Structure 1
Amino acid sequence: MSTANFQTIPTLDYSLTADPDSRAQFISQLRSVIINVGFLYLSNTPVDRDLISKLKHECIPRLFGLPQEEKDRIKMANSPHFLGYSRMGMELTKGEVDWREQFDFGTGCEEERLLKNGDPQYWNVYGPSQYPNEEQLPGFKALFETYLAQVSTLASDFLRLVSEALGLPPDTLDQFYKTENRMHLSKIVKYPVQRESRQGVGAHYDGAMLTFLLQASEEHRGLQAQNLRGEWIDVPPKPDTFVINFGRSLEFVTQGVVRATSHRVLAPPLDSQTPRYSVPFFYSGMDLEVRVDESVLKIPPEILKLRDQRGVLPETESINYSEYAHDVAGKVYLVGRAKSHPDVAERHYPDVFKQLFPNGMPLHGIAY
């Protein structure tokens, strides 16, 4: 279906999974994509289209149109969970500024978790989100939490399809998500028309097992994925789809069968009239004590053969999330977030901050 040197991103029809006769076709297509491409469009999902339309066309522009003082009221530095608002240009990727403004939200945690003496610091990465005042943005919290719940259910179901595509029982990957108290991460991102640089986000891999991306601006390209020749392939918006890509943690536990693909985002060019909006959802809430390096799955030989036929994935300039090879998932998440948001680390995790930034507060976080 696709090769490791793909030139386009394949589209899979989720509705095929509802019928046993067509489900096998979907699983076969998915197997080829996860091994050779690592990116796909998913169409005909059960996520409410009217809800998505309202989010894209009403809520997101109004969210970024809030007065600056209201956005700053819920700035991320307030939150030990790294949730909240980040101003433009706060992070670097590969030494260059990422020109984006964003809000980070989590799922499933409504109350603060009280830690006892001796509890690991990374237990505190899960907690409630910061939302704008209801008076400022009526109905937004309820709508977005409904959206997150639907996408989370879809991601959980999709992970079972990935297990089947690997020749494993459908519930195999559920072992990484046993704890009820878990949180997945989502962002709402604005990439403005940019004069300084076209870098919205520089080349990187994701760490989460799955990323579901809603490209919320139909008129803007910008997302690109990298094939094995190092070519950047456009992933343009496609109506009524999610873009899915696979992260380094899933690549690790599948012995490299699942392909984590390097990708980047270009900011809108100067002749654009509007910013680009996107809503990534990271299925990142693995059990905090999971050690990925101790949880490698036993993949059937016929699937490993397909991996070997693809060839070895090269190391790129993108971040590799090598910490998964020797640390528990909670610590990997905390360190990664602290690097990206040193102001949060300095305020809430001073020991981690000193280890990562021995010379004091940097001018920018290190996104990747």
Structure 2
Amino acid sequence: MVGVDVAHLPVIDLRKAKGKERPALARQLHEALTTTGFFYLEGVDDRYNAVELKTLSHWFSNLPLQLKMDISKKTFNKNASHNYRGYFPVQPGEPSHKEGFELGPNNCADQKPPTEFAKFFMESNQWPVDPPGVTGEADKFKKVMMEYNDFLGKAGVELLRLVAEGWPKSTHSEFFTELFTPTHLSTFRLLHYPPRDASPPPCAIDGDYVVQCGGHRDSGFFTLVSTFDYPGLQIQLEDGKWLDVPSRPGAMVVNIGILLSRISGGVLKATTHRVVDFGGHRWSAPYFLEPKFDANVNIKLPPLNKNEESGSTERQNYGKWLFKNLIGYEEYRDLAEKWGNIAQ
């Protein structure tokens, strides 16, 4: 059940960032982010293959449930040693009807956590094993996922360079880069939205729609999504109207989060979006670009309005900011009990 009206998003070709067209591309990106806050991204990397990634997503979701639960988070498997990375199952009765597999940056666990609390976020990744009678598929899955995990992160940071270069007031290209070195807390997710086995709960109904992931704005910097040509993604205009976001062959759908919008003084738009149920299975693979745990995210791009208030200059640690934004999600429901005093 999908709306009639369709969003017409601009197309950003990242290949143009390597040549003389880079300044024009930076201006084009700025225009996209000051209007809808969403755009199609092409040329993310020569290795990007949506069909390959979709096949891996199907492979993982079709694994026996026990193999997935073996790498699930402690919230769902009390015997697990990890809390933040790994698998989470569908939660019956919840408005968000999906299962997922989450990875952090490949080198994150190799870095020394700046605090005891940071260890929670800087976990090693969890990997599935082959089902009985199968050899080599899990190794291929790990190899390819690590490649995507790496180049999607680099593409996200390159987009941030373009944001800085396209800012109307002179800004250094590397304005954001220090926030992401030597590692960061970005999350690469494989998501599967299965059909509901029963009538949806009242909390999943919004007017004429059944919602699989309710309306929200992402919290971080950029989200780069492979939609695999599935319908269901919608964005909300300022007047409250919802528009379908059609897929574009070979392109990712990208939007910005609350943090980047805040750093821009609200000039760049973090747009509310959701996923509606179209009656079948749906897969997607979002990459959430997030800075390192101890990054100071209370920074500002040069203000475009001379009357704009600079606000507080007090340092704001990204890890604590992230924690406060996670504890309301079902996948992290045990966080408040263990670390609630940290967020005070």
User: Above 0.5 in TM-score?
Assistant: yes
Provide, for residues 196-236 of structure 1, a one-character-per-residue CA deviation record: whole Å limited to 9, x for no partner. 152111011111111100112x2x21111111111111112
Q: Percent identity?
A: 22
Question: Offset of 1:261 from its aligned partner?
Answer: 0.7
Question: Offset of 1:354 from its aligned partner?
Answer: 11
Structure 1 match to 2:221: 209
Q: How does 1:287-306 map to 2 (within 5 A)?
A: 287-293=292-298, 295-299=299-303, 301=304, 304=305
* CA 1:229–1:19: 2 relative to 1, 3 Å: same
| TM-score, structure 1 normalization | 0.76
Query: Any unmatched runs of 5+ in structure 1?
Result: 1-5, 309-324, 357-368
Between the aligned partners of 2:226 and 2:117, the Cα distance in structure 1 is 32
Provide, for residues 313-338 of structure 1, a one-character-per-residue CA deviation record: whole Å limited to 9, x for no partner. xxxxxxxxxxxx98421012223333
Structure 2 match to 1:322: none
Provide, for residues 92-132 of structure 1, a one-character-per-residue CA deviation record: whole Å limited to 9, x for no partner. 5xxxx20111111111336477779xx35134311211110
Between the aligned partners of 2:157 and 2:297, the Cα distance in structure 1 is 18
Provide, for residues 171-201 of structure 1, a one-character-per-residue CA deviation record: whole Å limited to 9, x for no partner. 11113223x1423101100112234152111
* CA 1:233–1:158: 2 relative to 1, 3 Å: same
| TM-score, structure 2 normalization | 0.81
Provide, for residues 16-69 of structure 1, a one-character-per-residue CA deviation record: whole Å limited to 9, x for no partner. 32321x32332222121111110000123324144x32221x221111111111
Q: 2:226–2:284: 8 Å Cα contact kept in structure 1? A: yes
**What SS class does the counterpart of residue 34 from structure 2 fall into?**
helix
* CA 1:187–1:229: 2 relative to 1, 3 Å: same
User: Is 1:345 paired with 2:331?
Assistant: no
As a proportion of its length, which structure holds more helix? 1
The AA in structure 2 aligned to 1:186 is F
User: Is 1:75 paired with 2:72?
Assistant: yes
Provide, for residues 114-161 of structure 1, a one-character-per-residue CA deviation record: whole Å limited to 9, x for no partner. 779xx3513431121111015563410111111111111111111101
Structure 1 match to 2:42: 43
* CA 1:62–1:108: 2 relative to 1, 3 Å: closer
Q: 1:186–1:281: 8 Å Cα contact kept in structure 2? A: yes
Q: 1:62–1:137: 8 Å Cα contact kept in structure 2? A: no
* CA 1:200–1:169: 2 relative to 1, 3 Å: same
The AA in structure 1 aligned to 2:193 is Y
Q: How does 1:1-368 map to 2 (within 5 A)?
A: 7-20=7-20, 22-50=21-49, 52-56=50-54, 58-77=55-74, 78=80, 80-89=82-91, 97-109=95-107, 111=109, 119-134=115-130, 135=135, 137-167=138-168, 168-178=171-181, 180-194=182-196, 195-196=199-200, 197=204, 198-216=210-228, 218=229, 220-269=230-279, 272=280, 275-284=281-290, 286-293=291-298, 295-299=299-303, 301=304, 304=305, 327-340=316-329, 341-342=331-332, 344-345=334-335, 350-352=338-340
The AA in structure 1 aligned to 2:187 is L
CA RMSD, Structure 1 to Structure 2 (Å): 2.9
Between the aligned partners of 1:154 and 1:91, the Cα distance in structure 2 is 37
* CA 1:151–1:9: 2 relative to 1, 3 Å: same
* CA 1:130–1:44: 2 relative to 1, 3 Å: same
Q: 2:227–2:285: 8 Å Cα contact kept in structure 1? A: yes
Between the aligned partners of 2:341 and 2:58, the Cα distance in structure 1 is 34
